[in-house]
Amino acid sequence: MKVLLIGSGAREHVIAETLKKNKQTILYSYLKSKNPGIISLSKGFEIGNYNDLGRISDYAKKIKPDLAFIGPEEPLSNGVADLLTESNINAVGPTKSLARLETSKSFTRNLLKKYRIEGNPKFEIFNRENIKNAKGFIDDLNGCVIKPDGLTGGKGVKVQGDHFKTNKEALEYCNEVLQTHPSVVVEEKFEGEEFSLQCLSDGKNVIAMPPVQDHKRAFVNDKGPNTGGMGSYSCEDHLLPFLTKKEIDKGLIITQKVADAIYRETGEFYKGVMYAGLILTKEGVKLLEYNARFGDPEAMNVVPLLETDFIEVCNAMINQNLNKIKIKFQNKATVCKYLVPEGYPDNPAKNKKINIRKVPQNARIYYASVEQREDGLYSTSSRAIACFGIADNLENAERIAEEATKSVKGRLFHREDIGTKRLIEKRVNHMKEILG
Ligand code: GLY
């Protein structure tokens, strides 16, 4: 079984490791940078950009894989799934059109609205012609979120109270977005606790993986600027401390309806990961956004829990028989903590040497944005190393992940509080306050 994996982050490192648990897997990888973890698991690899469709196509034709897995959003938004399908290569990951679930915020909001799927906030979409109506809409909301309509690498979304204060500033940001994007989505701001529900879809059947909570702020105690995610946890009971099974099921119901709506709207089946960014509010579970891929770091929390062969799961997504296989997850708690360059995200210390000493036996590390050079490992401007703990309960998983951070030396920092009892209690109390 030849598998081509596209992507070079920690998310793809854990995907590679899990694909290789099947002894038949021969892994090839197409990476943007030399991730030593993925390369050590690969029989062959190619370095190139995710928009170099010719290079990806040539490499895929040379390898002739039985299966391809596309990890990040960038190749999905460039149509790599379409390209592979044209060469008769089965790909896990949506086509360019269906990746609009992530790349076009207006597509997703309009889809939920048209098919009367619950979970949407109040929202309006503005362009240069109707932007004059934005003031009235924003004034009627009790706090807003502004989303450029397109991929922004996690940096474009701005939340009132966090990134700006007044309605005037909201309007100014809308106008700024319209300089570079054809439209901007303005939404009602939700109050609550966020969680990630990563679902596997074959276009007809949707299966939820255990829920995960990510931590976006850079510093301990949820201080500092937003990041791609500083770390995440999941629990052995496949719930979260502030979340019931009913609320998780609601997220799955919404996602199943979205998969059905995508088919009705486009005539195409969505084969890949539908990552629902959800929030529990006083009014129930609401949808913040969808991503067309696994989360990073959230992939680290769920993919290693799979008891079912990942190759079998991928084939079931492609062959549309996810309902015919039993997908099982270990009842373990997980904690992932990202080591990131000092100064990240605003002024990261890049090109700095990283040394990895003895990793504790029960911990794992996954390589993210690092560069393997002849004289060792170096940081780049983004998240460097994911330290991962898995155990029977959260306390032990957190301790293992924290221990693992000590084996990595360099100009890096991490959030010690992720997965700790104190922070979890804060989340639970926040939710109690909101629910009243
Ligand atoms: N952790 C957030 C994301 O993957 O987009």
- Domain with 287 in it: what CATH number? 3.30.470.20
Structure confidence at residue 46 (pLDDT) = 98
Counting atoms of ligand 1 from 1, which one is nearest the CA of 297?
A: 1
Closest CA to ligand 1's atom 5: 295
Nearest of 345, 357, 344 to residue 404 by alpha carbon: 357
Cα-to-centroid distance, 337 and ligand 1 (Å): 14
Which pLDDT score is estimated for 328? 98
Structural domain containing residue 64:
2-92
433 part of a folded domain? no
d(CA 272, CA 270): 6
Residues 381 and 283 in one domain: no
- Rounded to the nearest whole angstrom, what is the distance from the C-alpha of residue 275 to the centroid of ligand 1? 9
Q: Please state, in angstroms and rounded to a whole number, the distance separating the CA atoms of residues 317 and 311.
A: 10
In 3D, which of 111, 59, 100, 60 has the Cα closest to residue 78?
A: 100
Backbone angles phi, psi at 405, to 5 degrees: -60, -25
In the predicted structure, residue 155 carries a pLDDT above the cut 80:
no
Q: 356: domain CATH number?
A: 3.90.600.10
Q: Which of 299, 324, 349 is where one domain is finished?
A: 324
**Least confident span in 150-164, 227-241, 275-289, 379-393:** 150-164
Domain co-membership, 298 together with 354: no
Q: How far is the CA of 306 from the centre of ligand 1 (A)?
A: 20
Ligand 1 atom with minimal separation from the 232 CA: 1
Per-residue tokens: 187: 């939404």
Q: Looking at residue 29, which CATH number applies to its domain?
A: 3.40.50.20
26 to 45, 46, 84, 109, 194: CA distances (angstroms): 12, 15, 18, 40, 37
- Residues 77, 13, single domain; the answer is yes
pLDDT tens digits for 325-338? Answer: 999 999 999 999 99
Ligand 1 binding pocket, CB closer than 6 Å: 154, 214, 229, 291, 295-296, 298
Cα of 212 from ligand 1 centre, angstroms: 11
Structure tokens at 330: 């270990």
What distance in angstroms lies between residue 267's CA and the mean position of ligand 1's atoms? 28
Quickly state the pLDDT bin for 381 (edges 50, 70, 90).
very high
Question: 123 forms bridges with which residues in the sheet?
Answer: 187
Which pLDDT score, from 0 to 100, does residue 152 have? 77
> Tens of pLDDT along 89-113?
999 999 999 999 999 999 999 999 9
User: Nearest C-alpha to atom 3 of ligand 1 is from which residue?
Assistant: 295
Q: Is the pLDDT of residue 290 over 70?
A: yes
Q: Is residue 226 part of a domain?
A: yes
Please, which pLDDT band fits residue 154 given cuts at 50, 70 and 90?
low
Residue 151: the pLDDT is 79
Give yes or no for residue 422 having a pLDDT over 70: yes
Residue 436 counted as domain residue: no
Average of per-residue pLDDT values in the chain:
96
Taking the centre of ligand 1 as the mean of its atom positions, its distance from the CA of residue 128, in whole angstroms, is 30
What percent of the chain stands above pLDDT 90?
A: 96
The residue out of 139, 158, 188 marking a domain boundary is 188
Pair (261, 353) in one structural domain:
no
Same domain, 154 and 242: no
On whether the CB atoms of residues 384 and 339 are closer than 8 A, the answer is: yes
Q: What would the two tokens of residue 108 be?
A: 């997703």
For the CA of 298, the closest atom of ligand 1 is 1
The distance in angstroms from the start CA to the end CA of the chain is: 54
Going from the Cα of 378 to the center of ligand 1, the distance in angstroms, rounded, reads 23
Query: 342-372, pLDDT tens digit by residue?
Result: 999 999 999 999 999 999 989 999 999 999 9
Q: Is the pLDDT of residue 253 over 70?
A: yes
At which of 188, 208, 227 does a domain end?
Answer: 188
For 433, counting Cβ atoms within 10 Å of its Cβ (0-12 exposed, 13-18 middle, 19+ buried), the class is: exposed
What is residue 251's predicted lDDT score, i.e. its pLDDT? 98
Determine the distance separating the centroid of ligand 1 and the alpha carbon of 135, expressed in angstroms: 30
pLDDT band at 156 (very low <50, low <70, confident <90, very high): confident
Residue 117: inside a domain:
no
- Looking at the structure, tell me whether residues 7 and 70 fall in a common domain: yes
Hey, whose CA ends up nearest to atom 4 of ligand 1? 295
147, 157, 196: residue to mutate for ligand 1 pocket, most atoms within 8 A of CB: 196
Ligand 1 centroid to Cα of residue 428, in Å, is 22
Tell me what pLDDT residue 18 has.
Answer: 98
Question: Which atom of ligand 1 lies closest to the CA of 11?
Answer: 4
Does some domain include residue 101?
no
Is residue 105 situated within a structural domain?
A: no
**Number of domains, the chain:** 4
- Residue from 155, 291, 336 to probe ligand 1 pocket by mutation (most atoms less than 8 Å from CB): 291
Look at residue 64 in the predicted model and tell me its pLDDT: 97
Q: Is 148 in the same domain as 228?
A: no
Atom of ligand 1 nearest to the CA of 296: 4
Co-location of 203 and 267 in the same domain:
yes
State whether 156 and 173 are in the same domain: yes
